[in-house]
Chain A
Amino acid sequence: MSEPLLEIDDLQVQFDTEDGLVRAVDGVSFDVAPGETLGIVGESGSGKSVTSLAIMGLVPQPPGRIAGGQVRFAGRDLIGLPQADMAAIRGNHIAMIFQDPMTALNPFLTVADQLCEVTQRHRGYTRRQALDHAVDLLEQVGIPNAARRILDYPHQFSGGMRQRVMIAMALSCQPQVLIADEPTTALDVTIQAQILALMKALQAAVGTAIVLITHDMGVIANSCDRVCVMYAGRIVEEAPVDELFASPRHPYTLGLLESIPRLDEAQAHRLTPIEGQPPDLMHPPKGCAFAPRCPFSIERCHAEDPPLEEHEARRHACFVDVATAARHPVAEQGGHGPGSSSPQGSSSPEDAS
């Protein structure tokens, strides 16, 4: 693997709320190599979107705060960079696609206005040059009649077409990194596949590294080289995509995989949901954040936080070997709060052996 292009190192993002401090991202580290596709998967509230916003320097401050860590792009730490320097990188070297194309485009400006300003800003194009470039881009992302449609307003496009416009906008300056935050979540299933295929094709053409954030394991399987699984603001497992699907090492990853239907299984079986709710980040449980919902949890899980350890080019944070350990039923969660960590640990102490 070549030198990483983007290195996230022990990133911590916190939000001050009326009820207290929320550690939305709590010590996340990962690398992105040039041209690769890294998936970040997790439930809502696992911190995956906040991580991406932190990379872009777009965490709303206040209430948000980058409490620690580094985001190094091409060796330079982006955290604490002056606004003007950061703005020169955004949209130029690191671009982003957002989840909902219905709200992410400005309804008051034409598509031409919104596309042209990127190259006018970063490449000093004249309006004429920018317009030609923008029409090319729209053709590349598959918008028919691009030269005419570019003068339309976003509300005159369908959801899928708008997401294509977003992609064209993000790729305007051929960025080295493209962060796609749930780019297909708001779209019809048929359109989802088209958009993913389009991103892949453009990635091959431009050589952009993609950080694909999603909660959809199917999207991950289709498009990513490597996957980080996030839970409660941390990475709990990281692996090449084939290995992750073949042999998940964290109980949460296993839970995610068991909760989706698979076509390649000879015998259909009932899907297994992950019991319980994600932890309250205001009062995270002591020990492993997943332990209260984990069918493999042992006593140690409720007392100590398992570190994210590296084995054979993979990382995972768990004391138990899910391939061999026995499962036990997950006790009903007795509500959140600091005191909720102890009772489940005693349910099956024999697993500790």
Chain B
Amino acid sequence: MIAFLLRRFMWFVITVWAVQSLSFFLVRLAPGGPFTQERNVPLHVELAQRAKLNLDVPLYEQYFGYFGKLFRFDLGISDRQPDFTVNEIIAAGFPVSASLGVLALLFAVALGLAAGIVSAVCRGRGWDVSIMAAATLGIAVPSFVVASVVIILFVFVWPLFPAAGWGEPANLVLPAFCLGAPYAAYIARLSRTGMLEVLSQDYIRTAYAKGLSTRAVVLRHALRGALLPVFSFLGPAVAGILTGSLVIEKIFAIPGLGVHLLNAALQRDFTLMLGMVLVYTTVLYSMNTLVDLSYRILDPRVELT
């Protein structure tokens, strides 16, 4: 277990190095730079700025300088918002995006699993058909459409929640729902398929032959096996929720990281961009490691390597 985590950590360092290096050169290869603006800045101002942001030295010096600071967890000063360090921007935005993402994910897993299991157990009956119809709809409809519908329904027609903003728990409900809905739908389909697969296994027949109730068979004997495909989807789901939150944060005016990622890319804010990439790499990598660990907990036959 500890060996597994150590090995994973080693690979994490390598992954971060590779992703950061790639991003470092890619953002510099893209046309334009932090000083490309409609209005030309006087040359001496630009030179001063370049010197301040360490952009006036040769590329390899910039590269080693960046990694030297990265080792000390210093992501540097934002190229476009020189009053803030990238660390500060992330520290302000990450908790916001993270709480939204975690809530959306929890909602997606809880609703998706429940729907999928009910659907599988009632296979072919009314519940199954309606749940799967709703799930197909959930996957097909993009989140910004869901967001508009939800805002019309629960802000205007039936004013339960605020339309936008941040700070109150009530602010989280609608965006988390919109962000999680397609994943809930996907998880419902996955867990239904997984459950049906497991329910056809011989050991389920054995469980019934022991005289267990359907409830006990489903929850005790079948659920774990049905969870496996759902858990393997959680890695990609987190990636999707991270990038998806960009749109949702914009719609609901939430001061998360999404807007920074977008602006960093559009405005060629090199340091902020690299910082955002680092955040996403870390979240995804940790999530995938957690998924692998969860396999071990769910299925005793799995060996961690």
Q: Which residues of A contact B (CB under 8 A)?
A: 56, 58, 83-84, 87-92, 95-96, 98, 100, 103-110, 117-118, 121-122, 153, 155, 166, 169
Contact = CB atoms under 8 A, between A and B. Distances in A.
A257 B221 CA distance: 42
28 contacts: A58-B205, A58-B208, A87-B211, A88-B211, A90-B209, A90-B211, A91-B209, A91-B210, A95-B209, A95-B210, A98-B205, A98-B209, A100-B202, A103-B202, A103-B203, A104-B203, A106-B203, A106-B206, A106-B221, A107-B299, A107-B301, A108-B300, A109-B220, A117-B216, A118-B210, A121-B211, A121-B212, A121-B216
Interface of B: 201-203, 205-214, 216, 220-221, 224-225, 298-301
B202 A117 contact: no
A84 B211 CA distance: 9
A335 to B, nearest CB: 33
Given A58-B205, A103-B201, A84 B210 contact: no
B214 A83 contact: yes
A117 B220 contact: yes
Contacts of A87: 208, 211-213
B202 A90 contact: no
The 4 closest A-B pairs by CB, nearest first: A91-B211, A91-B210, A90-B211, A103-B202
A56 B210 contact: no
Given A108-B224, A155-B300, 4 more contacts: A87-B208, A104-B205, A106-B221, A108-B221
Interface of B is mostly: helix
B120 to A, nearest CB: 14
Contacts of B216: 117, 121
B301 A105 contact: no
Given A103-B202, A104-B206, A155-B300, A109 B221 contact: yes
Nearest to B201: A103
B211 A118 contact: yes
A104 B212 CA distance: 15
A103 B208 CA distance: 14
A153 B220 contact: no
Contact of A56 (B209, B212, B301): B209
A87 to B, nearest CB: 5
Contact of B206 (A88, A98, A153): A98
Contacts of B202: 98, 100, 103-104
Nearest to B227: A108
A74 B201 CA distance: 31
Contacts of B214: 83
A209 to B, nearest CB: 17
Given A153-B301, A155-B301, A107 B203 contact: yes
Contacts of A110: 300
Interface centre among B202, B209, B214, B220 (most CB of A within 10 A): B209
B210 A90 contact: yes
A83 B215 CA distance: 12
Contacts of B301: 107, 153, 155
A27 to B, nearest CB: 25
Contacts of A109: 220-221
Interface centre among B203, B207, B225, B298 (most CB of A within 10 A): B203
A107 B300 contact: yes
Contacts of B211: 87-92, 118, 121-122
Contacts of A90: 208-211
A83 B214 CA distance: 9
Given A83-B214, A87-B212, A87-B213, A105 B203 contact: yes
A110 B301 CA distance: 11
A108 B298 contact: yes
A100 to B, nearest CB: 6
Contacts of B300: 107-108, 110, 153, 155
Contacts of B221: 106, 108-109
Contacts of B213: 83-84, 87
B37 to A, nearest CB: 60
A282 B216 CA distance: 36
Nearest to A179: B209
A96 B206 CA distance: 8
A106 B300 CA distance: 11
Contacts of B298: 108
A117 B203 contact: no
B40 to A, nearest CB: 67
B91 to A, nearest CB: 41
Contacts of A100: 202
Interface centre among B203, B206, B208, B214 (most CB of A within 10 A): B206
Given A58-B205, A103-B203, A107-B203, A117 B299 contact: no
A294 to B, nearest CB: 35
Interface centre among A100, A107, A118 (most CB of B within 10 A): A107
A70 to B, nearest CB: 20
Nearest to A173: B211
Nearest to B224: A108
A69 B107 CA distance: 49
Contacts of A155: 300-301
B209 A58 contact: yes
Contacts of B212: 87, 91, 117, 121
B170 to A, nearest CB: 40
Nearest to B203: A106
